Structure 1
Amino acid sequence: MSSISVRIPTILRSYTGGEAEVKATGSTVREVVADLEANYSGIAARILDDNGRIRRFVNVYVGEEDVRFADGLDTPTPDGVQISIIPAVAGG
Protein backbone atom coordinates (compact mmCIF):
# COMPACT_ATOMS: atom_id res chain seq x y z
CA MET A 1 0.00 0.00 0.00
CA SER A 2 1.23 3.43 -0.91
CA SER A 3 1.38 6.26 1.62
CA ILE A 4 -0.39 9.23 0.09
CA SER A 5 -0.77 12.86 1.11
CA VAL A 6 -4.28 14.19 0.40
CA ARG A 7 -4.99 17.92 0.22
CA ILE A 8 -8.45 18.61 1.63
CA PRO A 9 -10.39 21.67 0.44
CA THR A 10 -11.79 24.05 3.05
CA ILE A 11 -15.36 22.89 2.40
CA LEU A 12 -14.48 19.30 3.42
CA ARG A 13 -12.27 20.06 6.42
CA SER A 14 -15.16 19.58 8.83
CA TYR A 15 -14.69 15.84 8.11
CA THR A 16 -10.96 15.93 8.90
CA GLY A 17 -11.12 17.96 12.10
CA GLY A 18 -9.94 21.05 10.25
CA GLU A 19 -6.87 19.40 8.75
CA ALA A 20 -5.85 20.80 5.34
CA GLU A 21 -3.76 17.73 4.53
CA VAL A 22 -4.15 14.15 5.70
CA LYS A 23 -2.41 10.84 5.07
CA ALA A 24 -4.13 7.95 3.37
CA THR A 25 -3.14 4.61 1.87
CA GLY A 26 -4.09 2.88 -1.36
CA SER A 27 -2.68 1.94 -4.73
CA THR A 28 -5.51 3.63 -6.68
CA VAL A 29 -7.69 6.71 -6.18
CA ARG A 30 -10.60 4.36 -5.37
CA GLU A 31 -8.62 2.74 -2.52
CA VAL A 32 -7.48 6.13 -1.23
CA VAL A 33 -11.08 7.41 -1.12
CA ALA A 34 -12.11 4.22 0.73
CA ASP A 35 -9.28 4.77 3.24
CA LEU A 36 -10.35 8.40 3.70
CA GLU A 37 -13.91 7.22 4.37
CA ALA A 38 -12.67 4.65 6.91
CA ASN A 39 -10.83 7.39 8.81
CA TYR A 40 -13.12 10.38 8.14
CA SER A 41 -16.68 9.07 8.00
CA GLY A 42 -18.92 10.84 5.50
CA ILE A 43 -16.18 12.34 3.34
CA ALA A 44 -16.58 9.83 0.48
CA ALA A 45 -20.19 10.92 -0.10
CA ARG A 46 -18.91 14.45 -0.74
CA ILE A 47 -16.39 13.16 -3.32
CA LEU A 48 -18.41 10.37 -4.97
CA ASP A 49 -21.99 10.41 -6.27
CA ASP A 50 -24.64 7.75 -5.60
CA ASN A 51 -23.25 5.67 -8.48
CA GLY A 52 -19.76 5.61 -6.98
CA ARG A 53 -18.32 8.02 -9.55
CA ILE A 54 -16.45 11.24 -8.84
CA ARG A 55 -19.01 14.02 -8.45
CA ARG A 56 -19.41 16.31 -11.43
CA PHE A 57 -18.27 19.38 -9.51
CA VAL A 58 -15.27 17.77 -7.81
CA ASN A 59 -11.87 17.53 -9.46
CA VAL A 60 -9.31 15.02 -8.22
CA TYR A 61 -5.65 15.28 -9.16
CA VAL A 62 -2.89 12.73 -8.65
CA GLY A 63 0.18 14.92 -8.69
CA GLU A 64 -0.57 17.33 -11.56
CA GLU A 65 -2.83 14.91 -13.46
CA ASP A 66 -6.63 15.26 -13.50
CA VAL A 67 -7.90 11.70 -12.96
CA ARG A 68 -10.80 12.33 -15.39
CA PHE A 69 -8.21 12.29 -18.16
CA ALA A 70 -6.35 9.32 -16.70
CA ASP A 71 -8.01 6.16 -15.35
CA GLY A 72 -10.57 7.86 -13.11
CA LEU A 73 -10.93 6.08 -9.79
CA ASP A 74 -8.54 3.40 -11.05
CA THR A 75 -5.71 5.94 -11.53
CA PRO A 76 -2.60 4.56 -9.79
CA THR A 77 -1.37 6.39 -6.69
CA PRO A 78 2.38 5.81 -6.36
CA ASP A 79 3.97 5.99 -2.93
CA GLY A 80 4.60 9.55 -1.82
CA VAL A 81 2.33 11.20 -4.40
CA GLN A 82 0.03 14.05 -3.42
CA ILE A 83 -3.66 13.89 -4.25
CA SER A 84 -5.63 17.12 -4.42
CA ILE A 85 -9.41 17.26 -4.08
CA ILE A 86 -10.63 20.49 -5.61
CA PRO A 87 -14.27 21.56 -5.75
CA ALA A 88 -15.11 23.23 -9.05
CA VAL A 89 -15.97 26.89 -8.70
CA ALA A 90 -18.94 28.15 -10.65
CA GLY A 91 -18.79 31.69 -11.89
CA GLY A 92 -20.88 33.99 -13.96
Structure 2
Amino acid sequence: MANSPSARKRIRQAERRTAVNKARRSRIRTYLRKVEEAIASGDAAKATDALRAAQPEIMRGVTKGVLHKNTASRKVSRLSARVKALAAA
Protein backbone atom coordinates (compact mmCIF):
# COMPACT_ATOMS: atom_id res chain seq x y z
CA MET A 1 0.00 0.00 0.00
CA ALA A 2 1.23 3.50 -0.86
CA ASN A 3 2.27 5.61 2.09
CA SER A 4 3.39 8.93 0.68
CA PRO A 5 0.81 11.49 -0.47
CA SER A 6 2.29 11.60 -3.96
CA ALA A 7 2.03 7.82 -4.30
CA ARG A 8 -1.61 7.93 -3.13
CA LYS A 9 -2.33 10.61 -5.72
CA ARG A 10 -0.64 8.52 -8.41
CA ILE A 11 -2.93 5.60 -7.54
CA ARG A 12 -6.00 7.83 -7.84
CA GLN A 13 -4.80 9.19 -11.18
CA ALA A 14 -4.06 5.71 -12.51
CA GLU A 15 -7.54 4.49 -11.56
CA ARG A 16 -9.17 7.42 -13.32
CA ARG A 17 -7.01 7.03 -16.41
CA THR A 18 -7.68 3.28 -16.52
CA ALA A 19 -11.43 3.87 -16.47
CA VAL A 20 -11.22 6.47 -19.24
CA ASN A 21 -8.99 4.30 -21.42
CA LYS A 22 -11.27 1.30 -20.89
CA ALA A 23 -14.26 3.34 -22.08
CA ARG A 24 -12.33 4.57 -25.13
CA ARG A 25 -11.18 1.05 -26.01
CA SER A 26 -14.73 -0.24 -25.66
CA ARG A 27 -16.05 2.54 -27.91
CA ILE A 28 -13.45 1.70 -30.58
CA ARG A 29 -14.34 -1.99 -30.41
CA THR A 30 -18.02 -1.15 -30.85
CA TYR A 31 -17.28 0.79 -34.04
CA LEU A 32 -15.10 -2.07 -35.31
CA ARG A 33 -17.86 -4.56 -34.57
CA LYS A 34 -20.37 -2.47 -36.54
CA VAL A 35 -18.06 -2.52 -39.56
CA GLU A 36 -17.56 -6.28 -39.22
CA GLU A 37 -21.31 -6.86 -39.02
CA ALA A 38 -21.93 -4.69 -42.07
CA ILE A 39 -19.29 -6.64 -44.02
CA ALA A 40 -20.80 -9.95 -42.88
CA SER A 41 -24.27 -8.83 -43.98
CA GLY A 42 -22.94 -8.13 -47.48
CA ASP A 43 -24.29 -4.58 -47.64
CA ALA A 44 -21.55 -2.51 -49.27
CA ALA A 45 -23.18 0.88 -48.62
CA LYS A 46 -23.75 0.10 -44.96
CA ALA A 47 -20.18 -1.19 -44.62
CA THR A 48 -18.78 1.98 -46.23
CA ASP A 49 -20.78 4.20 -43.88
CA ALA A 50 -19.71 2.15 -40.87
CA LEU A 51 -16.06 2.38 -41.91
CA ARG A 52 -16.35 6.16 -42.39
CA ALA A 53 -17.70 6.43 -38.86
CA ALA A 54 -15.11 4.06 -37.39
CA GLN A 55 -11.99 5.54 -38.98
CA PRO A 56 -11.88 8.83 -37.02
CA GLU A 57 -12.74 6.98 -33.82
CA ILE A 58 -9.81 4.59 -34.33
CA MET A 59 -7.44 7.47 -35.05
CA ARG A 60 -8.73 9.32 -31.98
CA GLY A 61 -7.63 6.27 -30.01
CA VAL A 62 -4.11 6.89 -31.32
CA THR A 63 -4.05 10.53 -30.22
CA LYS A 64 -5.38 9.57 -26.79
CA GLY A 65 -2.75 6.85 -26.36
CA VAL A 66 -5.10 3.87 -26.35
CA LEU A 67 -3.79 2.39 -29.61
CA HIS A 68 -0.41 2.47 -31.31
CA LYS A 69 -0.35 4.37 -34.60
CA ASN A 70 0.71 1.35 -36.65
CA THR A 71 -1.95 -0.86 -35.05
CA ALA A 72 -4.67 1.64 -35.90
CA SER A 73 -3.37 2.07 -39.45
CA ARG A 74 -3.27 -1.70 -39.93
CA LYS A 75 -6.85 -2.10 -38.70
CA VAL A 76 -8.15 0.70 -40.93
CA SER A 77 -6.23 -0.63 -43.92
CA ARG A 78 -7.51 -4.18 -43.54
CA LEU A 79 -11.08 -3.06 -42.99
CA SER A 80 -11.02 -0.70 -45.97
CA ALA A 81 -9.60 -3.46 -48.16
CA ARG A 82 -12.45 -5.78 -47.11
CA VAL A 83 -15.07 -3.07 -47.72
CA LYS A 84 -13.54 -2.29 -51.11
CA ALA A 85 -13.60 -6.00 -52.06
CA LEU A 86 -17.24 -6.17 -50.94
CA ALA A 87 -18.15 -3.14 -53.07
CA ALA A 88 -16.37 -4.60 -56.09
CA ALA A 89 -18.15 -7.96 -55.80
TM-score by length of 2: 0.26
Structure in which a larger fraction of residues adopt strand? 1
Structure in which a larger fraction of residues adopt helix? 2
More RCO (CA 8 Å, sep 6+): 1
